[in-house]
Structures are given as structure tokens and as C-alpha cells.
Amino acid sequence: MQKRKLGNSSLEVSALGLGCMGMSYGYGPAKDRGEMISLIRTAVERGITFFDTAEAYGPFTNEELVGEALAPFRGHVVIATKFGFKFGPNGEQMGMDSRPEHIRQVAEDALRRLGVDAIDLFYQHRVDPDVPIEEVAGAVKELIQEGKVRHFGLSEAGVQTIRRAHAVQPVTALQSEYSLWWRKPEDEVMPTLEELGIGFVPFSPLGKGFLTGKIDENTTFDSSDFRNIVPRFTPEARKANQALVDLLGMVAEREKATPAQIALAWLLARKPWIVPIPGTTKLHRLEENIGAVAVELGSDDLCEIDSATSEITVQGARYPEELERRTGL
């Protein structure tokens, strides 16, 4: 497995990470714990060293799962987790909370659940409009000085927030959605990351599964699956967006790859400081995703994909309105 550095930082990780959220949360019922531990350990054996979790996934159960799975590999893998939400007594999400005292408490809890001495990469999960980002960055800076956190990250933040945070404590990575069907980060965010030397960690690099080609207008999701409330996943939108999957399929056939591998290879070819974190709960999908690292798209391939996608208008918003308001601040 190739390695990449996240921006100008010293944090080196596998070119592809593993998003662990769906093992516990978001895409239907939580999966079998033993099977997921086995999958995470297989990922390590295949060369993946970068794992993504958050207290919000579950909540709390995903951190515990990742911590147990990676216990035999401490010191050889990088674990990213996140702070920024508050939860009720039954685990229900109750808005945002990035007050410095809360960040400190989340860090202590995450260290315990993950079973580590330090959090490798600690992201603010979403920008909190009620807490100045300078205070957030300052709180993480203190945790770094104390040796409890190694690197500071932001998730779905806009360029002004990134700049203000970076001035207080260097930001190692920004995590945001980025894929062939969500390219907005190219407008302002990516040039800012390049200027400041910040790595980029795209989540949902396969369009929440759509770019694999295994979802069509007739696909049904479990009642607890997040995609049921996503406008881009209405049957009408899926039918319209099939054109993008057809394009990937055409390129994949020529490259002797799969649509998912082309979607990931496209991201890897964009910048050397991009590290996608596709999530999966299936071994054969893990193997398929890892195979994307060996797919090299040349400049002609990239031009062809850009030209073809410029003719395709993706239908449907990527989030319901209330969730979209939490992004890009």
C-alpha cells in the first residue's frame, strides 16, 4: 500500500483509509461486532493504516469497536476521531457543543474508549456557530501540548474558519465530502488547503454507495438508513444520476477496473495530499477499494472524465436542508 502525507504535516498514512461509521451507525442496523473487528484487522493486514471514527457514531459504540479492533496494532496505525456534538441521556443528539471544557471531556472519553495514550487526529466534527473557532483551536492546542492529541483537524469547514483556526493551531487535515458527484470543495476549499499545506480527507468518496453502480432507482434501504432522508437518493434523482455511473462504468471497462475503483482512483489522482476514506462492512468491497490504489489514471483519462461530467448535472441536494446548514461555515 502506498503512503501519503497529510499536507505539510508529519502525519503519514496509507493512501486509502477506512471509514468505520457504517459499522455502527447511519446505514441501517449496527453490524455484527465480531465480523467488524475481523474486517478492520484484515484492513490492517492489507496495508491500511488510517481509520476514521467519531463519538457521534453510535453514539460511542464505534469508538469502542475501533479501539478493540486496533488494540493489537497500537503504534502502527493512525486513528482519527471527532468532537463537537452533545448527547442526551439516551444517546440522542442535542445540537453542537465545541466549548473548550467539553472538548477536553470528549478527548478524555475518546482516549478511554479507543484504549490509546494519544488521539492521532482530533477533528471538530462540525463548526459550532456559538463558539469562536479560535477558542476551539486553542483548546486542541492545549491537548496537543499535554500529549493527549497529536494533530488537529476540521470537518466540513469553510475557508474563513480554516484560516482562523490554522492561525492558532496548524490544521493537519480537513475532512469533507468530495467525490465525482460533489465537487464543490474544488471552488475555494482545495486552493486554500494547498496554500496552507493542509491535507484533505474526502468522506463519502463513493457517493454514499451510489458510485459503485450497485444502487439504482429501485433499490430500497433499511428504515434506519440515513439515505432515506437525502434528496439525492429519491428514486427520481437516482434515475437521473445514473448517467454518472454509466460514465464510470465505461472508463472502468477500458481500465479493467470497477466503477468504484475509478471513482477512488480519480480522487487519488487529483492531489498527492488527498486520502479518501471509503467505508464498508464487506470484505469483498474492502478488497475492491484497496485495488483502486493500483489504478493509475493519466491526464487524458482525467480530461475525459472532467469533460464528460461537465455535461452531467447531478440531481438532488446532498443533505436535507437542516443538515446542510451545519456545513461550510
Residues acting as catalytic residues: 57
Q: Is 279 helix (H, G, I), strand (E, B) or coil?
A: strand
Tell me the Ramachandran region of residue 43: left when phi exceeds 0, alpha when psi lies from -120 to 50, beta otherwise.
Answer: alpha
Whole-angstrom distance, CA of residue 186 vs CA of residue 267: 12
Torsion sign, CA atoms 43, 46, 48, 49: positive
Helix (H), strand (E) counts: the chain: 11, 11
| The amino acid at 144 | I
Half-sphere exposure in the Cβ direction for 154 (13 Å, CA): 28
* C-alpha triplet 142, 145, 146: angle, nearest 5°: 90
Q: Residues 290, 47: contact at Cβ < 8 Å?
A: yes
